[in-house]
Amino acid sequence: MDNIMLGQFQNMQKHTIKEWLVKLKGTKHDLNELPSVFNFPHVTVIRLKDDFYLKSTELNKLKDTGEVLKSSKHLIKMVNGAAKLHFDHYDQVEVDNSITGVDENGHTHGFSFGFGTGRKINELYEDPARVREWLTKAIQEKNVADILRFFSDTNWFNLYKIFELVRDEAGDVASCGWVTKSELNRFKQTAQSQESLGDAARHASKKFKPHKDPMSLIEAKSFIKGLLLNWFSSFAK
């Protein structure tokens, strides 16, 4: 730890930190979307002047700044997954490796770790409260946390992992009425075929034959997004 960081750390040790603010970075479009949706105790995104910060009652349980940074990076993956599921147009935001601690007197203490579009704008959404339900469940259940993390980085491997986790929880997702059998087979067959996806396929063996109409990655993302929205909606029934 260099002298500047050590001095900041020692200064913070004199106070009891009651709340952590973790600075976020990303495009203005993505950052501006978050405060109206992530505004509950487990996950809050706020704007202070021109900067955006992540807050969480889970982070406030921690005392060590390194643990706060590590936990906030884990949490922001779930935030990104939930945001991608909620919004039609969203990329991702990241932790900016800058943390502010607010002490019992309301004074702030900065700590820096020293390292560090052209898309469409989202329309208004009817039910941002659903995001709170997703994140609350993710904090309570590892499988849900993993699903949101995987959805924050939607490659073929992660999409198939999401399908497997939902299937483990719910059983036959086609029988649940969340997807059609034909589209499910198309997704699975494409994901497993080396001829269709090359190195992105789940298997290298030629015994896994390609579907006659393979899914594109964009179609696969849409398919899994629909599955997830239906699965999450089933919790409220």
In 65-208, which residue ranges form alpha helices assigned H by DSSP? 65-86, 129-140, 142-151, 156-170, 181-192, 194-197
pTM, entire model = 0.73
Per-residue model confidence (pLDDT) at position 21: 95
Q: In the chain, what percentage of residues exceed pLDDT 70?
A: 80
**Nearest Cα to Cα of residue 148 among 42, 16, 1, 32:** 42
Q: Residue 124's pLDDT is what? A: 54
The string of pLDDT tens digits covering residues 174-204 is 999 999 999 999 998 888 877 676 776 667 6
Q: Distance (Å, rounded) from C-alpha 214 to C-alpha 207?
A: 16
The two three-digit tokens of residue 51, written as one number: 């900067």
Whole-angstrom CA distances from 106 to 9, 16, 20 are: 17, 10, 11
pLDDT classification of 128: cutoffs 50, 70, 90: confident
Residue ranges of the domains in the chain? Answer: 3-112, 154-234
Cα separation, 237 vs 232, whole angstroms: 10
pLDDT in tens, 39-71: 999 999 999 999 999 999 999 999 888 899 999
Q: Which residues are within 8 A (CB) of 89 and not within 5 positions of it... i.e. 6 or more apart? A: 29, 119, 120, 121, 122
* Residue 17 identity: I
Average pLDDT of span 85-113? 88
pLDDT digits (tens, 9 = 90+) for 100-117: 999 888 888 888 765 444
Whether the CB-CB separation of 112 and 98 falls below 8 Å is answered with yes
Q: Smallest Cα–Cα separation from 120: which of 56, 27, 21, 188?
A: 27
pLDDT of residue 125: 58
Q: What is the pLDDT of residue 44?
A: 95
Q: What value does the mean pLDDT take over residues 192-218?
A: 74
Which carries the bigger pLDDT value, residue 75 or residue 202?
75
Instruction: Compute the distance between CA of residue 4 and CA of residue 112 in angstroms, rounded to an integer.
Output: 9
Model confidence at 23, pLDDT cuts 50, 70, 90, reads very high
By mean pLDDT, which of 45-54, 210-219, 226-235 is the weakest?
210-219
> What's the whole-number average pLDDT of the chain?
84
Sign of CA dihedral 167, 173, 174, 179: negative
Can you give the pLDDT at residue 213? Answer: 85
